[in-house]
Chain A
Amino acid sequence: MKSWNRFKNSYLLYSFKRDPVAILSFCVLSILVIISILAPVITPYNTYDSATFDIMDAETPPAWMEGGSKSFLLGTDIQGRDLLSTMIYGLRVSLLIGVGAVLFQALVGILVGLLSGYLGGKLDALLMRIADIQFSIPYLIVAIFTSAIFKLAFGVGRYAELAVPLLIIIIGMSEWPKYARTVRASVLGEKNKEYVEAARVIGISRWHIMYRHVLPNTLTPVLVISTIQVAEAVMSEAALSFLGLGMPITKPSLGSLIRAGFEYIFSGSWWITFFPGALLVIFILVILLLGDWLRDVLNPKLYKG
């Protein structure tokens, strides 16, 4: 109750209420997230079940166009799946991979950044050089190699099952240095503050100081970059899928849907690629807008009166 009151009177809520862009973005994002979580309940068709769709319905245009059918609001794809349902499932997969990859990045990055910044010395030099190396390898190359090796080792059939965790790890691995650097910079700022010295004078061990005193004070910038990182991870996943390295078409993400439809764009079936593309753009846009707003509010240097 107390923390709710604190929130009610906070600058965060005040500036949110005064920013129509933030409100709109937040609403759109919430709706998208809720829809994708509830996908199995609210979609008209279960697109993961091949029994529910018919190849005869393939390439049906959206309902309002000539030749459209009332049962497929946004038309169907080349396999005859309802596009709307497929997109919602696709969004769900994209979101899962995006959030998963960011959690993975954050976990690795925060740990590395905290150790590196607080302990310093040779460990710091070593970890930061590893981060530099990691950063200099394009994630596409990593993805191509990993998925090739994986397909060889486990077969294409198993790949479809394990694609989600695999993509989470591939995308997560490529971006953790961003977290590591952000956290390290903020740890360097915090670790010489007097409250840390006070904890040392009490005799508290450095592991405990790192975890209990330094870590909570470095999380604000982590929160800010996390929003942007989710958007970036979703985009990376879409790019990988578009190149055929991501989610298989039987369990599509927004990226693989765009790819699948792309081949038919000139044969007139533009909707197969257009709607997933538009959804991806809206999804990423609202996350970035919300991230921008959050950064402005949490960064006192940009404080606006």
Chain B
Amino acid sequence: MRHLLEVKDLEVKFALWFGELTAIDGISFTLDRGERLGIVGESGAGKSVTGFAIINLISKPGYISAGQILFEGQELNRLPEDEMRSIRGNRISMIFQDPMMTLNPVLTIGTQMIETVLAHENVSKSEAVDIALDKLKKVHIPSPEKRIHQYPHECSGGMRQRIVVAIALLTNPALIIADEPTTALDVTIQAEIMDLLLELCESEKMGLILITHDLGVVSQITEKVIVMYAGKIVESGATQSVVQDPKHPYTRGLLKAIPGIIPPGSRLYQIPGMMPNLTEIPQGCSFHPRCTISESICSTEVPALISKDQHHRMVACHMVK
């Protein structure tokens, strides 16, 4: 079966005034219809850039320097901009951390939703209104008939993010890319949005790529997970197995560093050092200076992402058998 999305050896570079930086260094993954994938990493790991690369929205000075992005059989990174525009916001929708990146503050919610529908679908205006109301109901917004006449600033943060989800749903996309959709929200609202995304993916058979730094959120609603470090995938596999039995030393460290698992007050596990700057990525395995089990091979040879067990688990580490 053909995958919904297939990313092959994607490489993204930024041409800055002092030289070129490699933000994403050859990553590959696939996503099937109705599947939910989490991309986890700390800031600077390249997870957001991956999301933008898929919809071909890398802004200058960045560019896709190598690799392929296949979506429903089309090679997105070779499409001309006008064809890409008919896919972006239509077959693929995006949800950002800040709802105000999507919402226009001077237009009512209804106007924005109807415009989106009319831009992508051949329907009359009253049909567009019906579609908008239907989607608002889907995201559990009380009295949508009133809401569509309101402006974004009249809604609370959680409500706005739900409206953004409704807008993302307008064109019945096959894939939603959510970039830190709940980072700016409070825990109780975060839980609601996550419930909502999970419910919608199941009922609408949509693919979801959830980009986040929060392993807890990822483990709640995704089936597969990719852990990124300094522009590379260091580990990938089924979410539950990665979370419960992490293999890569970075993933292990990350999971151990979260408070709430070990007894309160005791010393947290800390990964020494910090994520390297993109200008000074170490030779060999980029994690080796921070790794507790590294050997001499780690500082010279880049480890390949290879399968280490039967359960589709891939790990990029010389030391993991």
Contacts and interface: CB of A to CB of B under 8 A. Distances in A.
A and B touch in the complex (CB under 8 A): yes
Interface of A: 11, 14-15, 305
Interface in B1-48: 14-18
A11 B17 CA distance: 8
Given A305-B14, A305-B15, 6 more contacts: A11-B17, A14-B17, A14-B18, A305-B17, A305-B60, A305-B61
A211 to B, nearest CB: 35
10 contacts: A11-B17, A14-B17, A14-B18, A15-B17, A305-B14, A305-B15, A305-B16, A305-B17, A305-B60, A305-B61
Ordered nearest first, which 4 A-B pairs have the shortest CB separation? A305-B61, A14-B17, A305-B60, A305-B16
Interface centre among A11, A14, A15, A305 (most CB of B within 10 A): A305
Interface string B166-193: 0000000000000000000000000000
B58 to A, nearest CB: 12
Contacts of B61: 305
Nearest to B18: A14
A120 to B, nearest CB: 25
B171 to A, nearest CB: 32
B278 to A, nearest CB: 14
Nearest to A9: B18
Interface in B211-261: none
A14 B14 CA distance: 18
Contacts of A15: 17
Interface string B288-313: 00000000000000000000000000
Nearest to A305: B61
Contacts of A11: 17
A253 to B, nearest CB: 41
A296 to B, nearest CB: 13
Interface in B39-90: 60-61
Contacts of B60: 305
A10 to B, nearest CB: 11
Contacts of A305: 14-17, 60-61
A124 B61 CA distance: 43
A15 B16 CA distance: 12
Nearest to B62: A305
Contacts of A14: 17-18
Nearest to B59: A305
A206 B274 CA distance: 37
A11 B61 CA distance: 16
Contacts of B14: 305
A247 to B, nearest CB: 45
A15 B61 CA distance: 15
Nearest to A14: B17
A277 to B, nearest CB: 39
A191 B290 CA distance: 38
B156 to A, nearest CB: 24
B167 to A, nearest CB: 27
A278 B12 CA distance: 51
Nearest to A11: B17
A103 B14 CA distance: 42
A143 B313 CA distance: 81
A257 B15 CA distance: 51
Nearest to B14: A305
A68 to B, nearest CB: 51
A209 to B, nearest CB: 31
A266 to B, nearest CB: 53
Contacts of B18: 14
A14 B18 CA distance: 9
A11 B18 CA distance: 9
A211 B165 CA distance: 48
B150 to A, nearest CB: 30
A197 B18 CA distance: 36
A305 B16 CA distance: 6
A119 to B, nearest CB: 30
A305 B63 CA distance: 12
B49 to A, nearest CB: 15
Nearest to B17: A14
A20 B16 CA distance: 19
A105 to B, nearest CB: 34
Contacts of B17: 11, 14-15, 305
Interface centre among B14, B17, B18, B61 (most CB of A within 10 A): B17
Nearest to B16: A305
Nearest to A18: B17
Nearest to A15: B17
Contacts of B15: 305
A305 B61 CA distance: 6
B319 to A, nearest CB: 38
A8 to B, nearest CB: 13
Interface in B139-174: none
B312 to A, nearest CB: 39
A14 B61 CA distance: 17
A288 B203 CA distance: 61
A15 B18 CA distance: 11
A111 B14 CA distance: 43
B216 to A, nearest CB: 28
Interface string B100-123: 000000000000000000000000
